[in-house]
Structure 1
Amino acid sequence: MTPSRDPLPETVEVVVIGGGLAGLTQAIALARHGISVAVIDREDPARALGAGFDGRVSAIALASQRMLDAIGLWPHVAEAQPMWDIRVSDGDSLLFVHYDHRDIGDAPFGYLVENRVLRQAQQAAIAGLPNLHLAAPMAAARIDFGPAGSGRPAAVELADGRVIRARLVIGADGRQSAVRSGAGIRTTGWDYDQAGIVCTVAHELPHEGVAQERFLPAGPFAILPMTDDADGRHRSSLVWVEPTATAAAIMALPDAAFDAEMRRRFGDGYGDAHVTGPRWSYPLSFSHAERYAGHRMVLVGDAAHGIHPIAGQGLNLGLRDVAALTEVLVEAQRLGLDIGREDVLDRYVRWRRVDTLVVSAIMDGLTRLFSTTAAPVRIARDLGLGLVDRIRPLKKVFMRHAMGDLGSLPRLLRGERV
């Protein structure tokens, strides 16, 4: 790691550890509302912006997109594919669920955006925020949260010896969060013994903005619509889940054999299709922190909860954390309160815990339900898909959930500044 010597103030109001999609968005949201922030990230931004760093595409729910627009990040998103329809099917069953955006309005369910494009937008957004300071690549060597209940700020010592003091430290440093472990917070979790294979597929026929989630015996097979490439070729992102050993064997195949395995599952509804560009593979697991906050520290995103990528809810959960925490901190600061106090942070914890637990349980349950090949279970779930497709009030609830529009929404998710 090459040490960063970017100018950093000795004191800020908030230090964010982790400059990924959730962490840097959190910093941007706070800085837009007048709170001074320093972001410490181990990753070199130049490497993170490279085409080979991360091949994933994120489904940004409509409510999440409204928040990104409200904090000035969305105008920097260079390309985004609207998600007009969602189709959920169970293997080769004739029963399925089809969500059509026109059943509830004119807006799409959300947008599909390459993670690389989101990172580029983040870097463009922070350029106009003088109260946001980024140190990267840089590690936090030690964090002193101070005595519980004291008015003393937290002290973050960087790997190069510099020390930054802040009222609050936000852990946005992923599933292996050093902030979380440093605060003594335990997690509940398990490994699914699955891996997600990610690649981009170029195909002959247009996708019409339809996202498909096919549940195959080995795991979900998601086809996510992307924008056309520079040559006008139609593209979709593939998230292909297999047992860990099978995924490793598939990843080791030469290009032609990998393409053949992909096409066996992809079907012929898109015409001629082939993989374009590199492929990636990621292990899949579940984790949940027993606490989201403590004295002068709070967790957001995967540091608080990591879920299976089924239905693409992981990043949206993190962005809902960002929206809620921003509202809590901005309102507390306006009242002259110490934003690092546990009683201030408790409002964020209460706001987010129920939503997170419910979504996590549903995603884990769906993963297990659709991983079962027993005939009675498959018949029951196929009938369930068919019923959801025909019961319009229930179907609309699921559609609103896909848009992120259910529950008590923070103002940012409604597209409003705090």
Structure 2
Amino acid sequence: MAEQYDAVIVGGGIAGSGLGTVLARAGKSVLTLEKTLAFEDIVRGEWIAPWGVVEAMRTGLYDVLRGANDYHIPRHIEYGDGLDPATGESRALLLALLPGVAGPLSVGHPQACQALFDAATAAGVSARRGVSDIVVESGPAPSVRYTMDGTTHEAQARLIIGADGRGSVVRRQAGIALHQEKTHHYFAGMLVEGADGWPIDVETMGTEGDVQFFVFPQAPGRLRLYLSFALEQKSRFAGHDKEQRFLDSFRLSTVPNSEAIAGARIAGPCHAVPNQSSWTDSPTAPGIVLLGDAAGYNDPITGQGLAVTLRDVRIVSELLLGAAEWNAELFAPYAEERRERMRRLRMAAAMDSIVHAEFGPEATARKMRVITQAAGDPAIGMARVSAMVGPELLPAEAFSDDALEAVRNA
């Protein structure tokens, strides 16, 4: 006999456990199905933009995430080719850009997942791990079959929620198409510890030689590092010694204290992914709604993944808790808002890729022209500001084709 729930959530990570916690705290019966037995470092987003922190506050999940790592990064400094380090430091961007938010929240992804999973369980979610062979049936009476400990189970619900990441089983079985732009570079990351010479209060991003680099502190000496690089270097960080080669790439002549990074201890795997944005026309099907990466994801070059997910959790939870009937029409506002949000974020990421993820003297010269022109005309590359404050706070023209061309032709 099938178990009965208000909601069955496939995926117990940030999106799934976050939404499950909010719904269970409001008295809804929730089953969460998670395939892993433990959350591991597979190099995912660990930087929550200020606008994503606002979303966490609005859903009541902020304190849970702070429990995983209570550290906000206060300053951003851009280094790199063509830039004088002292000038960059004098123009450091203070990241307390939104009221009540001290800056981006820097938190380990596995730790954040576990903290939210534990919060969901504490709120009353029936959370099951190690599940496999998930089969979703959409329609007016949606259901899920799954295997756990060698036994097949079935659960029926008012709604099935797909929060199972980029390769979403729910999305595929529901027949929801995922659109992807052409891959334009690769993105690799790794965690290090013992980088004691790096200032805890500074994140940095820039371009040197044939890489774009990112440094995000999480605690004294602990840094999450990322590099983006050209498509023709697909195998740059492959092989048995890839972690050390990745670390050696942080011997950057344009970045003060970079030796503190290159001399740090490897504290996690190095993993690279192709970089592009993706989206769905609508993240819904009869009896099903998607959120987080399952519904489409932004190019990680601007670090929007966790903020996108937290907004999804907020909007979907508000719709569900504000309605007696959980029908397909309920999610029309979510689908509309998300469609435009992801379009704007795609445009912002495309602009940032032009400025920072293209390499060589001509690319450096264009970067410097964009920086110079933006100082006199904030409309140049304005969309890139959305990475911090959110895409809805800027005018629509900031995300137009004309705006993109202005950056490309600077």
State the TM bucket, normalised to the shorter chain.
Answer: 0.7 to 0.9
Work out whether residues 198 and 257 of structure 2, in 8 Å CA contact, stay in contact via their aligned partners in 1. Answer: no
- Tell me how far apart the structure 2 counterparts of residues 141 and 397 of structure 1 sit (CA, whole Å): 40
- Tell me how far apart the structure 1 counterparts of residues 281 and 94 of structure 2 sit (CA, whole Å): 38
Matched residue type, 1:225: P
- In structure 2, list runs of 5 or more residues that go unmatched: 395-410
Corresponding residue for residue 60 of structure 1: 48
Q: Is it true that 1:110 corresponds to 2:104 in the alignment?
A: yes
Work out whether residues 7 and 30 of structure 2, in 8 Å CA contact, stay in contact via their aligned partners in 1. Answer: yes
User: How far apart are residue 42 of structure 1 and its match?
Assistant: 1.3
User: How far apart are residue 399 of structure 1 and its match?
Assistant: 5.4
Work out whether residues 205 and 212 of structure 2, in 8 Å CA contact, stay in contact via their aligned partners in 1. Answer: yes
Percent identity, aligned pairs only, is 19
Q: Is it true that 1:238 corresponds to 2:225 in the alignment?
A: yes
Work out whether residues 15 and 37 of structure 1, in 8 Å CA contact, stay in contact via their aligned partners in 2. Answer: yes
User: How far apart are residue 283 of structure 1 and its match?
Assistant: 1.1
Please report the TM-score for the alignment, with normalisation by the length of structure 2.
Answer: 0.81
User: How far apart are residue 284 of structure 1 and its match?
Assistant: 2.2
User: How far apart are residue 9 of structure 1 and its match?
Assistant: 7.5
- Tell me how far apart the structure 2 counterparts of residues 208 and 240 of structure 1 sit (CA, whole Å): 20
Corresponding residue for residue 72 of structure 2: 82
- Tell me how far apart the structure 2 counterparts of residues 119 and 102 of structure 1 sit (CA, whole Å): 25
* Aligned residue pairs, count: 380
Corresponding residue for residue 299 of structure 2: 308
- Tell me how far apart the structure 1 counterparts of residues 238 and 281 of structure 2 sit (CA, whole Å): 35
Map 1:1-400 onto structure 2 (within 5 A): 10-44=3-37, 47-48=38-39, 53-56=41-44, 58-76=46-64, 77-94=67-84, 98-101=92-95, 107-130=101-124, 132-146=125-139, 152-159=140-147, 160-189=151-180, 190-228=182-220, 234-243=221-230, 246=233, 248-252=235-239, 253=241, 259-264=247-252, 267-269=255-257, 272-273=260-261, 274-276=263-265, 277-286=267-276, 287-332=278-323, 336-337=324-325, 339=326, 341-373=327-359, 375=361, 378-389=364-375
After superposition, the Cα gap between the structure-2 partners of 1:257 and 1:266, relative to the gap in structure 1 and judged at 3 Å, is farther
- Deviations 1:272-328 (CA, angstroms, capped at 9, x unpaired): 332322332131233222321121111111111122211211121121111111111
User: How far apart are residue 57 of structure 1 and its match?
Assistant: 5.4
Matched residue type, 1:238: L
- Deviations 1:217-253 (CA, angstroms, capped at 9, x unpaired): 534210111112xxxxx23211122346746444533
- Tell me how far apart the structure 1 counterparts of residues 345 and 16 of structure 2 sit (CA, whole Å): 21
Matched residue type, 2:202: V
- Deviations 1:370-395 (CA, angstroms, capped at 9, x unpaired): 33346555433322223445667999
Work out whether residues 56 and 237 of structure 1, in 8 Å CA contact, stay in contact via their aligned partners in 2. Answer: no
After superposition, the Cα gap between the structure-2 partners of 1:258 and 1:304, relative to the gap in structure 1 and judged at 3 Å, is closer
- Tell me how far apart the structure 1 counterparts of residues 244 and 9 of structure 2 sit (CA, whole Å): 44
Deviates more, 1:260-269 or 1:279-288: 260-269
- Deviations 1:333-354 (CA, angstroms, capped at 9, x unpaired): xxx22x1x22111121112211
2:308 counterpart SS class:
helix
Matched residue type, 1:15: V
User: How far apart are residue 367 of structure 1 and its match?
Assistant: 1.9
1:357 counterpart SS class:
helix
Which structure has more relative contact order (CA 8 Å, sep 6+)? It is 1
Please report the TM-score for the alignment, with normalisation by the length of structure 1.
Answer: 0.79
- Tell me how far apart the structure 1 counterparts of residues 362 and 230 of structure 2 sit (CA, whole Å): 23
Corresponding residue for residue 406 of structure 2: none
Matched residue type, 2:372: G
After superposition, the Cα gap between the structure-2 partners of 1:85 and 1:400, relative to the gap in structure 1 and judged at 3 Å, is farther
User: How far apart are residue 405 of structure 1 and its match?
Assistant: 8.3
Work out whether residues 98 and 389 of structure 1, in 8 Å CA contact, stay in contact via their aligned partners in 2. Answer: no
2:3 counterpart SS class:
coil
Corresponding residue for residue 405 of structure 2: none
After superposition, the Cα gap between the structure-2 partners of 1:136 and 1:21, relative to the gap in structure 1 and judged at 3 Å, is same
